[in-house]
A and B are shown apart, each in its own frame.
Chain A
């Protein structure tokens, strides 16, 4: 069965510092991975997906199949990046999402 692990529940960094949110997955097939973000009092929204290889709001994530990881990175954190971040894997007959437990990122001034 598929599994997504986010080892850090809480992560604090100072503004301008690099940030990395860790995500590891377990899946026997070819993974399709996403990062979702939830800002305070807002709905869950897609941040980026690995197949697009895009950079959104300065964030990037590289799929490492050897390490089964999909870590989210940003070289210079901003206060507006403070939010809950979820890593998710899409699989199954319904193409449903399996989420990690989330990492609450706080960017300090």
Chain B
């Protein structure tokens, strides 16, 4: 068991609304990343937080934003939801953002449907 937990597991939102997804990282992990996985595609990197600061971002618009808290848990916020935002959102944690040797552990994801 990897210990990365996400909530909620499923949710449905209306276009234009805002959503907040939550993630608790594995104990001791100080780095959290978020990925979007559309149906039939591999996960795509959204952004990463290391010690409460964003330290990397993929090709996603500013309406995708995040937070990391002192206990290293994290939130992903998406404003002005669009139909194409419907996807599985994965949270991943690791021990140190800059180290290439540390394993990245994934949560089970939050399924978001925008109608």
Contact = CB atoms under 8 A, between A and B. Distances in A.
A96 B56 CA distance: 8
A96 B58 contact: yes
Given A44-B90, A46-B103, A102-B42, A95 B109 contact: no
A101 interface: yes
Given A43-B106, A43-B108, A45-B2, A95 B100 contact: yes
A9 B97 CA distance: 31
Interface in B15-59: 33, 35, 40-45, 47-48, 50, 55-58
Contacts of B56: 92-96
A56 B62 CA distance: 40
Contacts, number: 62
State which size class the interface on A falls in: 20 to 34
7 contacts: A6-B42, A32-B100, A43-B2, A43-B4, A43-B107, A44-B106, A102-B42
Given A45-B106, A99-B42, 11 more contacts: A4-B42, A44-B90, A46-B104, A90-B100, A94-B45, A94-B48, A94-B97, A95-B56, A96-B45, A100-B42, A102-B41
Interface of B: 2, 4, 33, 35, 40-45, 47-48, 50, 55-58, 90, 92, 97-101, 103-109
